[in-house]
Amino acid sequence: MMYYSGPDLGVGISYMSAIGQQILNNIEDFDFIEAYTERFFIREQNSKLKEILKHKPVVLHGLDLSLGSPEPVDRTYFDKLEQVINETPCHWYSDHISLTKIEQIEVGHLMPISFEDQNIETIVSKVQKLNQTIKKPFLLENITYYYQIPSSNMKEYEFISRILNEAECGMLLDLNNLYLNSLNHNYDPYEFLKNIPIERIVEIHLAGGSFKENMHVDTHANAIANEVWKLFEYAARTIPFRGVIIERDANFEPFSGIVDEARRAKSIIKKYKQPAKVLL
């Protein structure tokens, strides 16, 4: 049974203040907008974002829920999150399978956690509590990780699959993160895709990384790699996702290149993707 039965949103872009005007200038090339959840914690919104949201659907993407932390979700954060989700006409909201704080100390990055039973239990419990209070679909995103935590005792796809199924939530599949992890840790990304519950995949992220100090890094600063496009073609043939976001956090010029990526994603969807069927 598919996790999300709402409409297909198409291909959109991650909102950044630096490209707000360019997004407005090319608004017809983007079907929807993804904005950081924490941006809405500030009551007075950026005027360009407010204008964009008059024209396009929105989904929210969080950075600081820190589901992998052993302690409970910060109450102040949770209250703000609940208020924002309830006040914003978002189709779904998402965050990462990671931790960003330990004992309320911010680590300043999306940190990986070990692939083990205890962390599954921690994340599942937190997601279940979210779902009891916030009545919008919630997605979890796979992150990049640059080292293996020694206490891990299962494959990443097994870890993620168990979380998704036990928490009864959806997935935001970041294909660039998957590709970079496959390079850094020497595994087959298609094996990963064949072993996760595709009926729970609602959204896909497409982005470009960088190669730094003998490591492939998720920078969102370059064009989408050819191998990521191949993974996306495979996903379009096999996964009933409902939306795709182009992510770019730096090196925005020429903006026409980002527009071309959105158009390419739409072309691939048109060529390969079958209309989603809701299983009753």
Taking only the tens place, the pLDDT of each residue in 133-152 is: 999 999 999 999 998 888 99
**Residue labelled with tokens 């990049």:** 144
DSSP string, 181-219: HHHHHT--HHHHHHTS-GGGEEEEEE---EEETTEEE--
Mean pLDDT of 56-61: 98
Q: Which residues make Cβ contacts (< 8 Å) with residue 44, sequence separation at least 6?
A: none
Q: Quick one: pLDDT at residue 278?
A: 46
Q: Quick one: pLDDT at residue 77?
A: 94
Find out whether 37 and 60 touch, Cβ atoms under 8 Å: yes
DSSP string, 70-99: SSPPPHHHHHHHHHHHHHS-EEEEEEESSE
> What confidence tier does 47 reach under pLDDT thresholds 50, 70, 90?
confident
278 assigned to some structural domain: no
| Residue 107 backbone dihedrals phi, psi, to 5 degrees | -95, -10
Q: Quick one: pLDDT at residue 171?
A: 99
280 assigned to some structural domain: no
> What confidence tier does 275 reach under pLDDT thresholds 50, 70, 90?
low
40 assigned to some structural domain: yes
Say whether pLDDT at 276 is over 70. no
Say whether pLDDT at 190 is over 50. yes
With a pLDDT cut of 90, the percent of the chain lying above it is: 83
Q: Quick one: pLDDT at residue 45?
A: 67
98 assigned to some structural domain: yes
Distance CA 192, CA 176 (A): 13
83 assigned to some structural domain: yes
Task: Report the sign of the C-alpha dihedral through residues 59, 135, 2, 6, in that order.
Answer: negative
Q: Quick one: pLDDT at residue 102?
A: 80
58: three-class secondary structure by DSSP: strand
Read off the pLDDT of residues 80-105 as tens digits, 9 standing for 90 and up: 999 999 999 999 999 999 999 887 77
Find out whether 142 and 115 touch, Cβ atoms under 8 Å: no
| Residue 256 backbone dihedrals phi, psi, to 5 degrees | -60, -30
210 assigned to some structural domain: yes
Radius of gyration for the chain, computed over Cα atoms and rounded to the nearest angstrom:
18
Q: What does pTM read for this prediction?
A: 0.95
> What confidence tier does 78 reach under pLDDT thresholds 50, 70, 90?
very high
CATH number where 203 lies = 3.20.20.150
More confident residue, 104 or 68: 68
Q: Where does 134-250 have alpha helices with state H?
A: 156-167, 175-185, 189-194, 226-238
Q: Quick one: pLDDT at residue 27?
A: 98
222 assigned to some structural domain: yes
Task: For strands 210-212 and 201-206, give the pairing.
Answer: unpaired
| Residue 94 backbone dihedrals phi, psi, to 5 degrees | -150, 165
Closest CA to 92 of 178, 177, 206, 12: 12
Q: How many domains does the chain have?
A: 1
11: three-class secondary structure by DSSP: strand
Domain extent at residue 37 = 10-272
Helix pair 156-167, 117-133: axis angle to 10 deg: 30
Q: Kindly tell me the burial class for residue 12, based on how many C-beta atoms sit within 10 Å of its own C-beta (0-12, 13-18, 19 or more).
A: buried
Say whether pLDDT at 273 is over 70. yes
Read off the pLDDT of residues 104-118 as tens digits, 9 standing for 90 and up: 777 777 999 999 999
Task: Report the sign of the C-alpha dihedral through residues 163, 13, 82, 199, in that order.
Answer: negative
79 assigned to some structural domain: yes
Say whether pLDDT at 160 is over 80. yes
Average pLDDT, the chain: 93
